[in-house]
Amino acid sequence: MFDAVLLSQSSSAPLERLPRARGAIRLEFKRRGAGTALDRFYQQGAARVRLPRQPAGEPPLAILLNMAGGVTGGDRFSSDVRLQPATAAIVTSQAAERAYRSAGGAATIENRIELQAGARLDWLPQETILFDRSHLERRLVVDLAPGARFLGVEAIVLGRRASGETVRQAQLQDSWRIRRGGRLIFADGLRLDGDVAASTARAAVFGGATAMATLVLVAEEAEGRLDEVRRLFADLPAESGASAWNGMLVARFLAVDGFELRQSLMPVLSLLHGARPLPRPWYC
């Protein structure tokens, strides 16, 4: 749904009255026989979901779409994904999200995930591209019951290098919060503000890279996957590193551009996704 007003050519309406995009998604999956089925479905405003037919034996796939074509200051989007006990699902996005120049205020994207006992979710959205003078606040909150498995990735690209784009000024606040059994086990935050080009050029920040990603696996086997993930890094173009502790594996990627980031992310995601191809939108 769009909160819109009609403006004449001479209008000087305040920013809060200009059109703003809103979108919300609610998905819940339940156990059906030996597999997983959709139990509850809700979509509102500019947020849409597609549920393509999956091959026999594969978990349901939900593809998120932003019908507004991107986000800008004042837009608000949210998604809630809930998996009941012993279910499995995959969530991805139809395309990269785009954060455009803001005329005032932040665009907000809030994603909440709840996995009950024995549930498995692969949260695999494509990257978010920040344009010059964009302002984005993004939050990912995950609540896991003991025994649940979560694989998640979030990626940020500063402009499209192949199109000659440079992000000089932008604001970004990006946060993760993961709880297992009600206890916080992972908290992470990234903040960019002001002269992004100068900040990211510093060796202690991005070292000149314009694309980055964080990958988190929370699973019983997570710590045992560390060596095979690190072995993959030797053949990847991005600067990559991984650690594992307390039933988690966390990997970081820094790349010169979005293309190099994808080349590095996809082999690692595919490995942890069950050594099988990623959802089709990743190859489009």
pLDDT tens digit string along 223-242?
Answer: 999 999 999 999 999 999 99
Residue 198, burial from CB neighbour count under 10 angstroms (0-12, 13-18, 19+): exposed
Find, among 281, 280, 240, 284, the residue nearest to 260 by Cα: 240
Query: What are the angstrom distances between the C-alpha of 24 and each of 78, 110, 158?
Result: 5, 9, 26
pLDDT at 18: 67
Q: Which helix (H) or strand (E) holds 143?
A: strand 135-144
pLDDT tens digit string along 71-119?
Answer: 999 999 999 999 999 999 999 999 999 999 998 899 999 999 999 999 9
> Tokens 């990912």 correspond to what residue?
140
**Mean pLDDT, the chain, integer:** 91
3 has pLDDT over 70: no
**Where in the chain are the domains?**
26-283
pLDDT at 107: 96
CB-based contact 70:97 (threshold 8 Å): yes
Confidence tier at 213 by pLDDT (50, 70, 90): very high
What is the share, in percent, of the chain residues with pLDDT greater than 90? 80
Structure tokens at 45: 């405003």
4 has pLDDT over 50: no
In terms of pLDDT, which residue wins out, 249 or 8?
249
Q: What does the angle CA 151 – CA 153 – CA 155 come to, to the nearest 5 degrees?
A: 175
DSSP 193-239: EEEHHHHHHSTTTTTT--EEEEEEEESTTTGGGHHHHHHHHTT-SSE
**Packing angle, helices 258-272 and 226-233, rounded to 10:** 150
Residue range 111-132: average pLDDT?
97
Strands 211-218 and 248-255: antiparallel
53 has pLDDT over 90: yes
